[in-house]
Structure 1
């Protein structure tokens, strides 16, 4: 067996649109992470959110079971606080195991939907 990924990831282009059209929740404008854990052990993840104004928020903590994928919508993150809509943000994802992270956005603010998907940036952590 093998394990793929990194323990630290960054998403820089976060922005959950305020407007949505169509049926909820499938067509609610949202940002989302897809996290793949190929490890034989569960991965404990912590997300820290950074904004253009104000202090970072987090950690938002959750688990991705061993050899599984989990999708996490930023719209659903509420503890320690709900994230504001229509504000630019970045996210640091820290994992206890090697994982692979993909970022996607569904913008349904108009009848013509827009869907974006990209890999998060794998980042090596540097201690000060």
Structure 2
């Protein structure tokens, strides 16, 4: 029996990597991917901004029946572009097989840590 839970097109409208952190924990954001299927997923991730052109074609692989937490600071496309810290952004995640996308943010800009997580918005199939 083949299981294909999830969707192939996701959006995360609120992204922001703080430029500074306090204490031992670094502020970060992660795209949390769950691939329940029998086939590895190939992700294409595009970042959109308020006042600049998008950074497109970040790629990532998530093996079949696995989960992966992809920090947005790890993303680098073929042109070596990265998502800048301190700049609001949004993400589009396209997968060649259905996956489930959650988004998490750890804000350690103050000594009182804040952790936020939410499911992405899925569009289409």
**TM-score, structure 1 normalization:** 0.91
Following the alignment from structure 1 to structure 2, what is the Cα–Cα distance between the partners of residues 111 and 14? Answer: 21
Which residue number corresponds to residue 20 of structure 1? 21
Secondary structure at the aligned position of 2:73 is classed as: helix
Aligned residue runs from structure 1 range 47-62, under 5 A: 47-62=45-60
Which residue number corresponds to residue 104 of structure 2? 104
Which residue number corresponds to residue 33 of structure 1? 31
Give structure 2 stretches of 5+ with no counterpart: none
Following the alignment from structure 1 to structure 2, what is the Cα–Cα distance between the partners of residues 107 and 46? Answer: 26
Secondary structure at the aligned position of 1:124 is classed as: coil
Following the alignment from structure 2 to structure 1, what is the Cα–Cα distance between the partners of residues 5 and 54? Answer: 29
Which residue number corresponds to residue 42 of structure 1? 40
Q: How many pairs align?
A: 122
Following the alignment from structure 1 to structure 2, what is the Cα–Cα distance between the partners of residues 42 and 77? Answer: 19
Which residue number corresponds to residue 124 of structure 2? 124
Secondary structure at the aligned position of 1:16 is classed as: coil
Secondary structure at the aligned position of 1:112 is classed as: coil
Shift of residue 78 of structure 1?
2.7
Encode CA deviations 1:60-96: one digit per residue, 9 max, x unaligned: 0010000100110001113331211111100000000
Which residue number corresponds to residue 87 of structure 2? 87
Secondary structure at the aligned position of 1:21 is classed as: coil
Secondary structure at the aligned position of 1:97 is classed as: strand
CA RMSD between the two structures: 1.1
Following the alignment from structure 1 to structure 2, what is the Cα–Cα distance between the partners of residues 116 and 17? Answer: 14
